[in-house]
Amino acid sequence: MKQVLSMDSINILTSRIVEMALSDGKPPVSMAVCDNHGFLMYFLRMDGAPIRSIELAKNKAYTASRMGTTTEAFHKRLSEEQLNINYFCDSCLTAMPGGTPVVLNNGLIGAVGISGRCPKDDQELADKAVTLILQKLE
């Protein structure tokens, strides 16, 4: 049976992300969770998170799901291979760090996107979020 992200898992995950984001002294964030096809399952914008973070979080989760890799790694690939993101013919793709796929038993089951902080911090929080959800699912 194919594993999927449940709303129960997502609710637990996002509650934990909010707790982490509120306690670490860094700026508030927007977060998005997509399924394995890149379709939005959940979105939250914390109080005070920048407006620009709304679409960025969604696009980071979408990209991580569609490309099957972190947006940080996707950015590196574009740079190393001298690719233009427009070559992919998908206006929702972004190479801004902060998106991480959720891979369980070698299968992509979704992705998390975080935005509102510097790209490095967004990626770090997205990676932590995925670690949390995998601990719950395993």
- 55 in any annotated domain: yes
- 2 in any annotated domain: no
Q: pLDDT at position 70, please?
A: 98
What stretches in the chain show pLDDT beneath 50? none
Q: pLDDT at position 136, please?
A: 76
Chain segment 12-24, per-residue pLDDT in tens:
888 888 998 999 9
Q: CA-to-CA distance for 94 and 62, rounded, in angstroms?
A: 9
Q: CA nearest 71: which of 97, 101, 89?
A: 97
Number of domains the chain contains: 1
Chain segment 36-56, per-residue pLDDT in tens:
999 999 999 999 999 999 999
User: What HEC string does the chain produce?
Assistant: CCCCCCHHHHHHHHHHHHHHHHHCCCCCCEEEEEECCCCEEEEEECCCCCCCHHHHHHHHHHHHHHHCCCHHHHHHHHHHCCCCHHHHCCCCCCCCCCEEEEEECCEEEEEEEEECCCHHHHHHHHHHHHHHHHHHHC
Q: pLDDT at position 9, please?
A: 82
- 98 in any annotated domain: yes
Q: CA-to-CA distance for 116 and 72, rounded, in angstroms?
A: 15
- 1 in any annotated domain: no
Q: pLDDT at position 95, please?
A: 97
CATH number, residue 103: 3.30.450.150
Range of the structural domain that residue 110 is part of: 7-137
